Structure 1
């Protein structure tokens, strides 16, 4: 059975924005999930913001996209997740990652370890949190956590979904074994400023990442939802010109042919973008698209629904 396509709106509100209004607009526009990012000191704290969004919406699901798990105790986080799931009548999805911005560790006084160590710690946390969300009492004597008889109240959902976002064979293979949703961003190494990334917008790279997920998932691959963060949305009648402008900005050899095929860039008319979304589902099994566009993207959602 073909998995339904979902669309998430990743909001980037400032303290002066009407967060409740943005959540209601996303719901009215037809988005399936309202998402909040996690960057210390920039915008609202995600779990609190999503609790507020839950109080002013009724159907749209709510997700972190993604929390820096390196800065959070897994038991406390699982407790907050199940509480938020109860408050939202079972609409919460927990997105986790290993983090990447050094300033956030400096600002909070937490040790900034290597990417390898952060990803290994994330893997341990995913297993702990997954067991807690499933209602288990958890005792762990691991490389990064020592817990004795930890437990949290059950979530409203029988299975609260965990999304894992990131890169690398070890992370994606482990996520394939333990996550419900895999989040891909088409990003490479963090650049020297600690914020920006190189991009990996080729079909070969995407194919390799999905192969890493499949290697970890084995027989459970059919149960995994594949998500992508769309980095560029441009609804235009002149796709060729817009694609050329994006390729010029990247300046790393990425061609307009690459950009026209990969799911991280949605450029064209409403019909062209909707057809590309369906192609990405049929070719790669990608069925969950997170975008930062809001009102302008509603016609694309409507068109995809008509074509599904």
Structure 2
């Protein structure tokens, strides 16, 4: 149990990183809070670190100063930097006045949490691979597979948002920091800013372009061959034409498959369902694509 003491207001100091992490109340929320303090006083102690840094309760401190208080009750902690930010994060994301976008911002800003989840994901994947090796060689007892950790999904659970919202928020933060700030201030949403990203607009344009052309059908390919014959191309010319037709179709099909995977969202769920279907087709496709990549030297 942390000790609660009366602390003089002029002893307290702030931490800019903590202040930047948790958005301040909006104007109307602040006015309502001040009315509450005027009527009922400050009912909860603030939280401070042993060096007198405010961890939680800066609005209560500001209100106390405006009301002419000289002291305030404070719960004193002894936290290192990592523990401090974890405390701020866990406390802040439970606040009712924060929007889901602001809660997500707090979660995304605590890098140690993301690193922890990414490490857990890599460790589980490594352990599962080792288990599969042992089981395939009939060495050691069968053990259940460890749960796959999807970092974005886990961050979404903590912030109370969907995995796709986390993915979009990260992209907005990376490509349009100004738009990201607008969301945190409550002036926009991650979905709206995501759709305004130039990279997303370009991608949507390409999808619409492909949709307007339509996926090539086998019957259309037959018609093309008939047309070639009608134009009296030589057999040698026809043979030379086939790889070009195949290359164009492969690139087009690849675009459609990528769009399908992007829209599906959960690649792990897609993999689980595919495993119940004709996987041999995918393996054959992969082998052929690998051969094309190797011949072309596209990946160094």
Structure with a larger share of its residues in helix: 2
Decide which structure has the larger Cα Rg and report it: 2
Q: Same fold (TM over 0.5)?
A: no
In the superposition, the TM-score normalised over structure 1's length comes to 0.22
Structure with a larger share of its residues in strand: 1
In the superposition, the TM-score normalised over structure 2's length comes to 0.22
